[in-house]
Amino acid sequence: MAELLDGRAIAKELKEEIKLEIAKWKEKGVESKLAVILVGDDPASVIYAKSKQRVAEDMGIAFDLFAMPGDTLEIAVLDLIDCLNNDMEFHGIMIELPLPKHISKEKIMAAVRPEKDVDGGHPINRGYILSGEEGLFPATPLSCIELLLRSGVEISGKHVVIVGRGETVGKPLVFLMLKHNATVTICHSRTVDLGSFTRQADILISAVGKINLITEDMVKPGAVVVDAGINETANGICGDVDFEKVKEIAGRISPVPGGVGALTTVLIMRNVLKGITLQGGC
């Protein structure tokens, strides 16, 4: 039976490290602060925003939630972002998604100052992932990396197969894995005979959002399986991997919940601190 990759335990470890860094910045007179913009009342977005607030306040990061009605004009959101970009009290800005249909996600994400873009969605930060330069990167791909490294899984030289080519997980994860010297294969909805690729993986990562996409016959015995998928069910959330069956084949496996997702909010807070450095420590 596979050993669990325990995201909750790693998140606890990360929180303590981040709290120490927050304290060091406070000694220098810098009060770390995050702004979250919520447009509309999408139930999941409201829950996520409040969750970030709890984590931030628990760790000692000041937090402001800017809640705007669903019929807010795009220009009003852009004006708020401009104010926050120029307000040196704020070191991180995050936009809760999805946005109302009349607001351009691309325009809003591109309006956030790259050094404050804790979600890693700005085109410049996407470019930095490609080039290997320092920037702010999306939390879920970073969570996959942290989960592996802090669990003692070697990435360098391994064949990593990523299932999913989305903008927030699959694509950035390709380049983060390359930075760690992995050999990377990426699969997606048009891949023919998906199992023929996944069975080659030393490390298999799924980030699609499809229940039981990864079955036991698709996994090489002893492989490391990271489930970055999120699916809502009547019984709560589950991932992309048929966990109960795949855990009998894999060497190590991450659960959902309790795996990748347990780290994401914590790593957003670490991005706030990285943003302080990128902004010149002010």
Per-residue pLDDT for the chain (282 aa), expressed as one digit of tens each?
A: 899 999 999 999 999 999 999 999 999 999 999 999 999 998 889 999 999 999 999 999 999 999 999 999 999 999 999 999 999 999 999 999 999 999 999 999 999 999 999 999 999 999 999 998 999 999 999 999 999 999 999 999 999 999 999 999 999 999 999 999 999 999 999 999 999 999 999 999 999 999 999 999 999 999 999 999 999 888 889 999 999 999 999 999 999 999 999 999 999 999 999 999 999 887
What is residue 281's predicted lDDT score, i.e. its pLDDT? 81
Place of tokens 């920037």: 135
- Domains within the chain, CATH numbers bracketed: 30-113 (3.40.50.10860), 139-262 (3.40.50.720)
> Quick check: 122 and 114 in contact, CB under 8 A?
yes
Q: Provide the β-strand partners of residue 35.
A: 64, 93
Prediction pTM value: 0.94
Give the CA angle between residues 135, 65, 265 to the nearest 5°: 45
> Quick check: 129 and 172 in contact, CB under 8 A?
yes
What is residue 44's predicted lDDT score, i.e. its pLDDT? 86
What is residue 239's predicted lDDT score, i.e. its pLDDT? 96
> Quick check: 147 and 260 in contact, CB under 8 A?
yes
Q: What element of type H or E holds 5?
A: none
Task: From 26, 59, 109, 38, select the one nearest 266 (Cα to Cα).
Answer: 59
Exposure of 35 by Cβ count < 10 A (0-12 exposed, 13-18 middle, 19+ buried)? buried
Phi, psi dihedrals of residue 124, rounded to the nearest 5°: -65, -45
What lies within 8 Å, CB to CB, of 18 at 6+ separation is 59, 266, 269, 270, 273
Task: From 126, 132, 196, select the one nearest 161 (Cα to Cα).
Answer: 196
